[in-house]
Chains A and B, each alone.
Chain A
C-alpha cells in the first residue's frame, strides 16, 4: 500500500501494552496538512507513530476545488500511544480536520477526551474550517496549539485567540512540537480543560 507519509517503517514489530492496561482513552490531534501533527505525536508517543489509511470517495465534490469529481483518495491517520497509568493507555490520533475528511472519522471524535487543534500562525486560514467542524459536529473539548515553527512570527497568543474567535475559556497554548515536555504540557492543558468542562452543568 502506498503511503502519504514517510513513516512509520512498514512491518515495525507490534509492541503490546502491559497486561494491566484495561482501558483506553483518546485525544485527537487535528489540523491542516504539514502543521506538525505527526511531529507532535512522535514527541510524546512511546511507540514509533503508526499510520493507517482509509479511502474517501466523492464526498469531496463541491467542497474542495482541488479534488475532481468522482475521485477517490486515501487519507492517512497517524497515531501514537502513551501508557499514562498502569491501567490506562492514551491514544493520540492525528487526522486532517477539514470537512472533506470528517465523515471518515465518524467514530473517532466520539468519546474522545478532547482535541488539540494545531495551528500555524503563518497560515491560519485552514484552521477556521477545522474549528467549525469541531464545534458543529462534536462536543469534544478542544485547545488550540500554536506550533512555534522556526521563523514563524511570534504572535502574542491573545492575538491568535482573537483571530480564531474562540470562546474565552478555550485554552490557547504555544508549543514546540518537537519537544516532548512542551507537547506533554499541551496535553495537560487539554485534559485540565476537559475536566473543567466535565464539571459544568449540561446545557438544556
Chain B
C-alpha cells in the first residue's frame, strides 16, 4: 500500500489524530488547560525527529499564546494539541508561561485585578 498517497486523501480525524500523537490519547501531564500560556524555549533547538505539527506549534509560540489559540491556528483539536504540547514541554522545547495551579479557583487578589482591569477597559 502506498502510505504516502493514501494519507493525502485521508480525512478521518480520529485515526489521523491517533497517529499524530503516536497512539496516545492522554498527555503526559495533566496541568495543561486551554488557557495555559505557552512560550517557545529560547533558542528553540528542534531535533529532526520533531514533526511538522510540532515544529509549527513551536514557531507559533515564539511569543506568548494560550494552548487554545495554538490549537485554533493549527486547526487541530485542543485535546490533541494538549498531547503535542506536553511532549514538547517534556523535551524542553516549549515552556509553560503561566505557572499557577490552573485547577485552583483564582484567588481574591487575582479577581480584584481582573475586575479593575475590566472596569478600566
Chain A: CB-nearest residue to B71: A52
User: Which parts of B82-121 form the interface with A (CB within 8 Å)?
Assistant: 97-100, 102-108, 110-119, 121
Chain B 5-23 interface mask (CB, 8 Å, partner A; 1/0):
0000000011000000000
A45 to chain B, nearest CB (A): 11
Known A14-B73, A22-B97, A191-B118; 7 more pairs at CB < 8 Å: A16-B62, A26-B35, A84-B113, A84-B114, A112-B105, A113-B106, A198-B105
Enumerate chain B residues within 8 angstroms of A12, measured Cβ to Cβ.
73
Question: In the bound complex, what is the Cα–Cα distance between A47 and B68 (angstroms)?
Answer: 13
B116 to chain A, nearest CB (A): 7
Enumerate chain A residues within 8 angstroms of B35, measured Cβ to Cβ.
24-26, 89, 91, 93
Enumerate chain B residues within 8 angstroms of A188, measured Cβ to Cβ.
115, 118-119
Asked whether A160 is an interface residue with its Cβ less than 8 Å from the other chain, the reply is no
Do the beta carbons of B106 and A111 come within 8 Å of each other? yes
Question: In the bound complex, what is the Cα–Cα distance between A89 and B110 (angstroms)?
Answer: 11
Assuming the contacts A1-B75, A16-B65, A188-B119, asked whether A85 and B36 have C-beta atoms less than 8 A apart, the reply is: no
Chain B: CB-nearest residue to A112: B105
30 contacts between A and B (CB under 8 A): A12-B73, A14-B69, A16-B62, A19-B64, A21-B64, A22-B98, A22-B99, A23-B110, A24-B35, A24-B36, A44-B121, A50-B73, A52-B72, A55-B13, A79-B34, A81-B66, A81-B69, A82-B118, A88-B114, A90-B114, A90-B118, A91-B34, A91-B68, A110-B103, A111-B104, A113-B114, A194-B106, A195-B115, A198-B105, A199-B108
State the A residues within 8 Å of B (CB): 1, 8, 10, 12, 14, 16-19, 21-26, 44, 47, 50-55, 72, 77, 79, 81-82, 84-85, 88-91, 93, 107-108, 110-113, 139, 184, 187-188, 191-192, 194-195, 198-199
Interface size class of B (residues with CB under 8 A): 35 or more
Asked whether B79 is an interface residue with its Cβ less than 8 Å from the other chain, the reply is yes
A94 to chain B, nearest CB (A): 11
Question: In the bound complex, what is the Cα–Cα distance between A121 and B117 (angstroms)?
Answer: 31
Do the beta carbons of B63 and A19 come within 8 Å of each other? yes
Interface centre among B13, B35, B102, B107 (most CB of A within 10 A): B35
Do the beta carbons of B118 and A195 come within 8 Å of each other? no
Asked whether B41 is an interface residue with its Cβ less than 8 Å from the other chain, the reply is no
